[in-house]
Chains A and B, each alone.
Chain A
Amino acid sequence: MVFSSLLFLFRFLPVVFLVYFLLLGLGRILKLKDRQITKINNSFLFFASLVFYAWGEPKYVVLMLFSTVVDYTCGYFTGKYVDRDKKKTARIFVAISMCINLGLLCFFKYRGFFLDNVNHFFGCQIQYKDLPLPIGISFYTFQTMSYTIDVYRKEAPVQKNIISFGSYVVLFPQLIAGPIVRYQTIADQLNHRVHSVEKINYGIRRFMVGLGKKVLLANNIGMLWTTVSAYGGDNLTSFTAWLGVFAFTFQIYFDFSGYSDMAIGLGEMLGFHFLENFNYPYLAESITEFWRRWHISLGTWFKEYVYIPLGGNRKGKARQILNICVVWFLTGMWHGADWNFILWGVYFGVLLIFEKTFFLKVLKKIPAFFRHLYALIFVIGGWAIFAYPDVRHGHEFVKALFGQGRAGFINQNSLYLLSQYAVMFVIVIIASTNLPAKLGKKVIAKEGCLRMVGECLFILLVFLASLAFLVNASYNPFLYFRF
């Protein structure tokens, strides 16, 4: 199930919301202890999240439950041995957890890619069955690994209640597309949560921001990318290719950050508080800064669990460069099982090394406008690599970007596409800066009625506009069966 669907908005969300708060109220009437109420609510969230996950892919629920049991057990023993200062024994359980999680990830996500390459480079004929990728596997395996590691590092306590732990693993707001919530962030919240009208209010507004980003911005500018990416070399002028890659740049940002906003908003409604995942990445003035603003939870994960354990920058320049290479190879790999993603990761690794070694110092001396321009060019260049899992198609696209395509620089169709999306581009450019948020804060800063009316209007407008686009999603009039 995805948030931006009628099914979620008009079936799942109302039921979960009602039952959750009914249970909460009932607990209070029966004068249960807060801890007990939270446990009851966790059980419900666990169950609801399984339904959420199972809707699209019922079979893989088993996989997620397996992962939950494994990490619960490993975490339990890790915590037990860490408490007794038997770090070596504890380490075995951390290793088991990592092997099983990474094993699942490799089997489901990278097996086909690996075997294709073995077949290609060694001329083998290894057959394998194509399995659909379990939804969200890249996210939840990373989350559960963080649990065992956090316990091992004593950064989080052991969760003794398997249902509460399970509700962390399968928690529906962040289950499918992140943010990757590290266990230590919500360890306390699993046992104790604060619910308030203010939080629900904020959560709803945040959810609306996300819904609008996804349905109104990402999907609409994404249509341009869909059009351009379907073009063959004969139709793909330089101009069109650039329009396409700009469209993709905004589509991926609004899609992904919109999803994170919705997750954070839903979390707030249910009393959780997740960390931010995006911070206006396209305002960055260097690649280093871009990665501090883009998919923050993934960057943090790799930093905390790979880069720093490898020695980070504490073991000399050469080692640091090696560590960056490892992290960025893995980051690329994490995004998908194809060479273009690895290339994309390595591309950023190289840029970051370049910046870390000397270029950041140079950047400081040039005007902000050029710093910004530099960062944007290379970020957008990255998306050109990222967008095409098919390397040959991607090559053709990059050639067109550099004016080496067969179709020349510009044609009538390029101008047509520009005319269709010019307004949309202005909208997404403004929306990707912090201007709308500043404006929003100005209204919110005003206490009282104006603020209330502003919030209501915002909710109403985004809700109705998004519905208009969602209702139309299946819209495929079958007019011609009669003609």
Chain B
Amino acid sequence: MKKKKIQEAVPVLLFLGLVLGMSLWSVVKPQTEKSEAENRYLSKKPKFSVKSLVAGEFGKKYETYLSDQFEMREEFINLKTRIEVAMGKSEINEVYLAKDGYLIRHYERDSFRKETEEENIEYLAEFAEKYTALMGEDHVRIEIVPSAATILADKLPAYASNYNETAFIEKLKEKISSKVLIDASEVLKDHKEEEIYYKTDHHWTSLGAYYGYQAYNKSLGLPVKELSQYSKEVVAKDFYGTNHSRICYAPSPDQITAYKSKDSVTYEVIYDRLFANTKPEDLTVFHSLYMENRLKEKDKYTYFLDGNHAIVDIKTSNQNGKKLLILKDSYSHEMIPFLAENYEQVTILDYRYFHTELSRLMPQENYTDLLVIRNTAKLLQDDTVFMYTF
């Protein structure tokens, strides 16, 4: 009889132990600022007030806090993904678990605001017209880089679909002169068997960016350096990118490779000069296009040009009078090292973080060339493209 009682009691104690233990721990454990794996700030315990309680606000915030600060949160999310994979799912939280260990972001038409597509085509066309008239057709380029889902479509799960980026690029081609518009998908498709996209991140790799640079230089009739002319460096072997962050799971990590110039060009890089409150002479000058210390963080992609900044100025040791202005998103970060060594100066603008009119910036430096580098998916989410035309 007594033995039976104990056998009844053990599962009860297990359950109580789990619930009470985890509850207690969640009360006493220190709060975490940021989730490295998810790459975002976590919500903290909300401040209590009668007003927010009555409005029901406190309750909601408290629940978010509980979930955000939950112990081993990332491990639990990983477990969830694994359960779903075991149940035959090949898409989780809008990430395809594609062939060969690729995690590919899934977009559909309604992933984007309806009007943005048409508007941005118009703005880019207006931009191309305005600046080709100003600088000449040989000095203005718009390079469009499709996402992995388009180029690596063969790797997607069976019957999977994705937003038709090719059709979007075709629409751009109708409005913008074929000399100005560079469709990177052509060269990328030729090399789709190579590792041109990260497996766990939404960006292309340095190799992909090299082909992007190739397309750009060819379009301008400039010589293209062979890959063997660079020294290839694997700078990180355990990179887990943004698509990993969405599901806390990846079959294998990525390597980050940088192709560094063997020539003796030197750089002076200044970040956010228009934003700093400090005097120009106090701005920190970096002598590399790469940020070594970023490799210690989760988002190692920021190794290239320190991630997103509103404005970056690069002065090189070249004295050829060529000055390039780039309007971009983060796809450009890996391509710029290939470009920079051919110019005397490169200025990089990201209009998602920046509001000064282009027409006011242009005359300050006599830019000789103008380049837009945009990834399709990022372009379709961007409501600041109208700034290109001002």
Contacts and interface: CB of A to CB of B under 8 A. Distances in A.
Interface of A: 5-7, 9-11, 13-14, 17-18, 55-59, 197-198, 200-201, 204-205, 208, 216, 220, 412-413, 415-416, 419-424, 427, 447-449, 451-452, 455-456, 459-460, 463-465, 467-475, 477-483
A483 B378 contact: yes
Interface residues of B, number: 59
B284 to A, nearest CB: 20
A469 B70 CA distance: 12
B67 A447 contact: no
Interface in B315-360: 329-330
A452 B83 CA distance: 25
A420 B90 contact: yes
Nearest to B9: A197
Given A10-B22, A14-B20, A58 B7 contact: no
Contacts of A55: 59
Interface string B27-59: 000000000001111000000000001101001
A452 B88 CA distance: 32
Contacts of A463: 15, 18
A26 B90 CA distance: 54
Given A415-B159, A459-B15, A468-B76, A452 B56 contact: no
B354 to A, nearest CB: 14
B40 A200 contact: no
Given A9-B19, A58-B53, A420-B88, A477 B40 contact: yes
Contacts of B245: 477, 479
A480 B381 contact: yes
19 contacts: A10-B22, A10-B23, A14-B19, A17-B19, A419-B157, A422-B88, A427-B87, A448-B7, A449-B7, A452-B7, A459-B11, A463-B18, A465-B79, A469-B83, A471-B73, A474-B64, A475-B93, A479-B39, A483-B242
Nearest to A424: B87
Nearest to A15: B23
Contact of A469 (B5, B80, B88, B91): B80
Given A58-B56, A483-B308, A477 B39 contact: yes
Closest 9 CB pairs of A and B: A416-B159, A423-B88, A468-B80, A468-B79, A455-B11, A474-B67, A10-B23, A471-B76, A452-B7
A11 B23 contact: yes
Given A420-B88, A467-B76, A472-B77, A56 B56 contact: yes
A184 B84 CA distance: 44
Contacts of A421: 88
A6 B11 contact: no
Nearest to A9: B19
Contacts of A481: 40
B54 A201 contact: no
Contacts of A9: 19
A429 to B, nearest CB: 14
B233 interface: no
B389 to A, nearest CB: 23
B183 interface: no
B134 interface: no
Contacts of B5: 197
Contacts of A423: 87-88
